[in-house]
Structure 1
Amino acid sequence: MDKFTIEAKKRYIIFLLLACLITATGFFILSKKAENTASILPNLENEVRSSGFFELKNSIEKNINLADKEEKFRNQNIQIGITSHHLPTALPFISEFYQILESSSGPREKFIIIGPDHFERCQTHISMSDRSYLTPFGEVEIDEEIENNLASFGIKTDENCFDGEHSIAVQVIFIKKIFPNAKIVPIIFSAKTSDAEISKLAEIITPYQDKIAIIASVDFSHYLDRIDALKIDRQSALMIENMDGASLESENVDSPAAVRLAMLMANKFGEAKSEIIGQANSFDFTGDSENTTGYINAIFIGKKESENLVTLFFVGDIMLSRAVGDKMKKLNNWNWPFEKIGDYLAGADLTFGNLEGPISSQGRNVGSIYSFRADPKAIEGLKYAGFDVLSVANNHIGDWAKAAMDDTFEVLKSNGIDYAGGGFSAEEAHSARVEEVNGTKIGFLAYTALGAKYTEATASSSGIAWLNKEKMAQDIAEAKKISDLVIVSIHFGDEYKQKSNNFQKDIARSAIDAGAALIIGHHPHVVEEIEQYKDGWIAYGLGNFIFDQTFSKETMEGMLLKVTLEDKGVKNIEPIKIKISKEFQASIEN
């Protein structure tokens, strides 16, 4: 073997070693990349897709809170809108859009999100995904009913093209934050989507008119300097105002198909009036005048909702003493139990609950091991949460004798919170507390079938309204003379039973027969069923709202009943699940 051959072999061996080293290094880098991106782009075998942008959670919350709430859109029916997906740059701009959506009326339980297939990866021109999204604020589920119907008409699922598709992911994050119980239907369009395909999709969606909101997630001019971008975006805004979807091209917007569908659905829904509510450029947020992106916020306004539209929230038992009171006192934070739900409760025109025990420093313990009395500072939390009316007709309001009970009436009154089912005489306790909201007069009555009889109000002494079927019917009749509708709260039922008993059914139905529109039940500490009886509704038990009964899952859950009134009657009833943390904070269950 000559010297040349030996040297060649040496070089060959060195080459092989270097190749192996480079390959190993490559695998190591790829594995680290996979670790770093695992929370953004999920494995295709997973059933849940990550929205990404988890690092922006605090910034999103801050911007939503800072965005102006436009009162002029309150009670306007807005089901369709256009906004940006250019996160994080356009974060303040997108937040303004969702604040308007939150302050307006219209369905908010199901959102169809439409946007571009940025990378043109989909196998068909119109594609959907059937995977839930994990966002910084929790998981958002797919609406299977609508998706199954779309599939029956030939709309295909194509999961590959949704991974990393921010036109959908960005909107899902905001929807979860502001409408935590909403479900979604994500749809993206190829640049080749035809008008015929858009029209077909519109026909499939139209039957869901009363159930859906539609968000067109699009950005406008791209990669232009600021001056040229503004010219193009002004043209696009004019096209939207004129409902001229046919003139929109790819130079105007990244998905003409999404905007055309939004316009088509607006016409079908009777929302033929469009309004530009915001226009901006990435330069406004970055200061970079080259390679900019244009943004437009637009809404399609339909028939204005009735001026008499009213949203009511009803919650279960509120107990602010014992372990709950100790927690608030330790933290010196009397808003603590309501901090995770206060913003949500603010969305109601009126909020009602059952105050389980007195708020006072007066009185004496009557001797029960379950005697409740909350620190007078606890009133701060009830005010923070926005309670308007509280029932005091229950078996714990007298736990610290009449002195504490009477003081509670005064504490509530002096802090602007009305009470029902109690007072300084039987006449007051049995008279409806009438609240007028948006022109609708609502009479609230409250009764208890449980507790110590010494708490019953008489002609000459303070107390609460004890349940008597005949007297309740008389009270309802009197309330109807001064109210547009009557709502009755009743403290009854068996503790920890998830089904109403015959006594509850008899009493609640008799109240409907007497003319009440809605019956709200408290006391069992667990959620019971909702029943429609004749022209009225009965929620037999809302469970706990703020309580320290940590011994079971069921007692750490509750129901918030969202009731919508229109034209002085009940239009809709929506039960919303509540969970109570081990730290005694109520929140909407995801």
Structure 2
Amino acid sequence: MKIMMFVLLSLPFGNGEVADYETYDKELAQVSGETIHNVINTHFQTSFSFAATGDVLIHDHLYEDVETESGYDFISRVDEVAPYLQKQDLVFMNQETPIGGEDLRLSGYPMFNAPLEAADLLEYFDADIVSFANNHTLDRSTEGVERTADILNEKGIEYVGANTSPEDAERKRIMEVDGVEVGFLAYTYGTNGIPVPEGEDHLVNLIDMETILSDMEDLRDEVDMLVVSMHQGVEYEPYPRDEHVAQFEQIAEAGADIVLGHHPHVLQPVDIYEREDGGETVIAYSLANFFSAQQDLDTKLGGIIEFDVNHKQGTGDTTVEGVRFMPTYVHSEEYDNFELIPLADADEYGLEDADGVYQDVSDHMQSYTEELEIVEYLE
């Protein structure tokens, strides 16, 4: 196919005279359809930022520390970090605990239930979608799942990995950003030793590779990008075990663009996995705690992982590029005065050898790939 381009303009000369159409009625070029297609693919694309965090884990020490006469003020404790999420086009977080409120009895470890204001916290972080597939999903049984879903719906926050009904379980979680469709799936290894109630298998998505691969196949063709969240691994271990690496890589080969790991409560490295089809999958084996009351140094460290997503309008190809990680730190005075801050600022809050800790986190997160950029602050 040839495209004929003509200038059919009546333009004035410097003396004010107007040229006739024949002067400018000329063929500028004969451009093939293939050339135009390549130009569109090269120059016409949609780009947006996507960010993810680890566990929002509301311990009793945390909600007791932020309690006021009128409720629970989590928001004032995250002001130093929240803007780095609020600037993103799409935000994913792991909501580790039910948000059932005082009617379901507030509690911390080992059977969690957070105040309703925990949903205000997610809203303040500008979370678009949260995973609720974790080992605490059933800590308040069916009612805890339903109440959590209700409060998230009120806040306009999507959830994935837990469901209020069989119909909800069939609902595909697809988020749209500037016309680009991003699909989400989430699964957990178990439910804190609590059996799934008989006849309510829909409540939580349990890890079963056959099911996961089937779900991915069903969703893959409907979306431009696929994100899979896996709640598994061994708590407090700094590296994933071989069997977990194999699972994550199997999910990558099945077509996931990003695989996000949760549960160990400590940071594990990020990898950029090269698939057999020539594409790449970003794997974050564990994003650790984001905001919690755990006291060991490794459990106070977390972060925000940020991706540049580019979608070519001509081919429909979507790529994940520019992967960055901003380390964070939960400062506290034992179990008082919790505050979420960038790790780069931790020396101002009295963290011993803060520069050394920052360097250790950087080296650790890059131990599988140096393509991951460690930044003090997200721009």
* TM-score using structure 1 length: 0.46
- For structure 1, the residue ranges without an aligned partner over 5 or more in a row are 1-303
Distance in 2, Cα, partners of 1:479 & 1:572: 25
Report deviation, 1:452: 4.2
Report deviation, 1:399: 1.3
**In structure 1, what is the equivalent of residue 262 of structure 2?**
522
Contact 2:145–2:164, Cα closer than 8 Å, also in 1: no
1:224-303 aligned at under 5 Å gives the runs: none
RMSD (Å), alpha carbons: 2.4
- For structure 2, the residue ranges without an aligned partner over 5 or more in a row are 1-41, 275-279, 312-317, 345-379
**In structure 1, what is the equivalent of residue 321 of structure 2?**
571
Distance in 1, Cα, partners of 2:231 & 2:44: 33
Contact 1:457–1:464, Cα closer than 8 Å, also in 2: no
Distance in 1, Cα, partners of 2:340 & 2:43: 31
Distance in 2, Cα, partners of 1:447 & 1:433: 13
Q: Deviations over 1:246-295 (max 9, x none)?
A: xxxxxxxxxxxxxxxxxxxxxxxxxxxxxxxxxxxxxxxxxxxxxxxxxx
**In structure 2, what is the equivalent of residue 580 of structure 1?**
330
Q: Deviations over 1:309-348 (max 9, x none)?
A: 1101100000124111112214852313322112221110
**In structure 1, what is the equivalent of residue 7 of structure 2?**
none
Q: Deviations over 1:24-50 (max 9, x none)?
A: xxxxxxxxxxxxxxxxxxxxxxxxxxx
* One-letter code aligned to 2:62: V
Distance in 1, Cα, partners of 2:320 & 2:298: 29
Q: Deviations over 1:360-381 (max 9, x none)?
A: 134468x995111111122212
Report deviation, 1:307: 5.0
Q: Are residue 355 (structure 1) and residue 99 (structure 2) matched?
A: no
* One-letter code aligned to 1:585: E
Q: Are residue 308 (structure 1) and residue 52 (structure 2) matched?
A: no
3-state SS of the aligned residue for 1:467?
coil
Q: Which runs of 4+ in 1 moved over 6 A?
A: none
Q: Are residue 556 (structure 1) and residue 296 (structure 2) matched?
A: no
3-state SS of the aligned residue for 2:244?
helix
Report deviation, 1:517: 0.7
Report deviation, 1:429: 3.6
* One-letter code aligned to 1:548: A
Closer/same/farther in 2, CA of residues 458 and 434 from structure 1, 3 Å limit: farther
* One-letter code aligned to 1:445: L
Distance in 1, Cα, partners of 2:170 & 2:261: 17
Contact 2:104–2:144, Cα closer than 8 Å, also in 1: yes
Distance in 2, Cα, partners of 1:369 & 1:433: 30
Report deviation, 1:570: 0.8
3-state SS of the aligned residue for 2:147?
helix
**In structure 2, what is the equivalent of residue 435 of structure 1?**
175
Closer/same/farther in 2, CA of residues 375 and 368 from structure 1, 3 Å limit: closer
Distance in 2, Cα, partners of 1:574 & 1:377: 30
**In structure 2, what is the equivalent of residue 326 of structure 1?**
64
Q: Are residue 470 (structure 1) and residue 210 (structure 2) matched?
A: yes
* One-letter code aligned to 1:342: A
Report deviation, 1:549: 0.4
User: How many residues were matched structurally?
Assistant: 285
* One-letter code aligned to 2:57: M
* TM-score using structure 2 length: 0.70
3-state SS of the aligned residue for 1:500?
coil
Segment drifting more, 530-539 vs 518-527: 530-539
Determine which structure has the larger strand proportion and give its number: 2
Q: Are residue 419 (structure 1) and residue 155 (structure 2) matched?
A: no
* One-letter code aligned to 1:577: P
Closer/same/farther in 2, CA of residues 530 and 350 from structure 1, 3 Å limit: same
Closer/same/farther in 2, CA of residues 376 and 436 from structure 1, 3 Å limit: same
Distance in 2, Cα, partners of 1:453 & 1:481: 35
Closer/same/farther in 2, CA of residues 460 and 542 from structure 1, 3 Å limit: closer
3-state SS of the aligned residue for 2:119?
helix
**In structure 1, what is the equivalent of residue 285 of structure 2?**
540
Q: Deviations over 1:54-98 (max 9, x none)?
A: xxxxxxxxxxxxxxxxxxxxxxxxxxxxxxxxxxxxxxxxxxxxx
Distance in 2, Cα, partners of 1:453 & 1:473: 25
* One-letter code aligned to 2:326: I
Distance in 2, Cα, partners of 1:487 & 1:360: 27
Q: Are residue 481 (structure 1) and residue 256 (structure 2) matched?
A: no
**In structure 2, what is the equivalent of residue 240 of structure 1?**
none
